[in-house]
Chain A
């Protein structure tokens, strides 16, 4: 989930696109001839374009319908509009400055481990010839494809947040919040967890990596960057905005679990692009990430329904699809590191934990996380992030952690350090919780004090579709 581009200052040394291989080769001083610069493979490029479109499908319509079905009829369009417009706005921010903040080197300053530079503002220097690194030595993809793929991640993450305070937020204030949030929270966290110069250049520039990456945090497709990040922001948001009017007194059942099921299923399909696409090329690891994504989801759907059956007496559709989403969330950081059997264990374990948070903990502390963004995404993300540190072990069928300080990268000979890796994973989780939790709290506070986050009680009772958007979801 990281990349290296060939444009920029280091290019001056060698010129052209020769540096990915040439840099390390010169450093070794043994290469008689400079190997040719790697060029993108058509299969890899095609797969990444398909993956990019799949991840967009997760947001619209997948997530929008998943969330939309869960709210009351009068707020259906507000949820759909929020998701749709967040995707549109964030994609513009991404190509304007987000990509540059997340995926360029921060140089050598004190902020470098936390955020990139503005070197690629407006995609400056990105051309149809520039390339981005993958996880394999000598394999690259077109940088435009990489920009587009990562863009879809930036689009879905803020959209996930809105479920926590659905049915009670002002659209205009929310859009302003989201612009600030991706700038202050998402782009830096993506840089901290995912930025590195790529497998061919890491040896020459071992410190040119994001903060969490430098600790060795494993996050294949965004357990921390996307799910813990959005989940904790959602919790902070629902606490600051407050409960829905009538919460706990009036029934607020989902208006269409049919749409929720359609949305969850689109998420499942789209998630193959999210997880398997995060390998950035099309090979065996992509295959295992694909399979892990499939079976962890199935296992989590099964375990949620079983727990629910035991606790409440009936297996529900909403339980099944919620479990599936929890499984998808949990396998996200592990998808390219674990093996299929490990992923099944992960899926079986995550649902009971999320169930506990969505029922018992939420009741106990009486916060109105309307669509369980915290209970499913943050908690599921934490379970996945921590267990990734265990399931990556080759002894458990995992892929192991490649040593990129040698070229080509190899699996280290030393035995897998379970305790050390789990501690590292926890550090990544805490960093994300702290950065996103504090950053989101400040931003919610600022927007609330200036614009006001909540509509009036009357508007909320009338429904946000009419009062915020002037239309109804269903006219019949």
Chain B
């Protein structure tokens, strides 16, 4: 029995590796592009999930960290020749400082007030980026010259980008998995369910919320750097936009908040849906987003806890039925 399980696991694993490497082998740039988008959002959503799903603090301002990542690394790169790889580390430091400044006061707020505060912070950042033209080039945006090299973190083909973001995602998932199974995970979930009760049990809510925020923010910032090096052009509207924050949160919610793989699942649903809808109905203006809005409502109402728990239940039923069959024999 155990051997069968091991073989099954092994086959599954090999299948997965093949699937992951296939776009590179097939050299399909289009699929790679879509996958990179999906994985980017999956990474940010998984990071968001640490704060939103596990700690229960709903942030709609994650674009703040995304934009900080993009701008900080790029400004350092263009003005001082600092490689984006080093830039990523600097971005993490910046995010930590930012979290300390923002987190401490806002963690006193509950529910919608916390959310509104996060929106406000991201909006302030967006306006600052628009008006501090000497630093950010304002609304014209920043254009990174296409000069492929490893130190520049610019690559001719999408393959390397794909592997890079895949790595980021796996690391983020691993971090989430560890937290989920650990003391920190329990504390965060306790805080989410009832912060006051958790506090009476001796849990330092602010400390753990801050850990979650720092992890969440830093990862998002790093993806921001990746984005800048991938797209090679951005402006305040494209990185500090509230739509990015909303999309990230949506992905985590649709996929399943508070689960390790929920956001990943959500990304695989929401991003292709977006692309697909945009490609359809080019004649009727607005039809694509109208359907998107309606679908959003429907999905949210049908699966308020996300898709992942539902899939898990279905699988369990299937799985349990199987093993009981085996036992009966």
Whether chain B is bound by chain A comes out as no
Interface residues of B (CB under 8 A from A): none
Interface residues of A (CB under 8 A from B): none
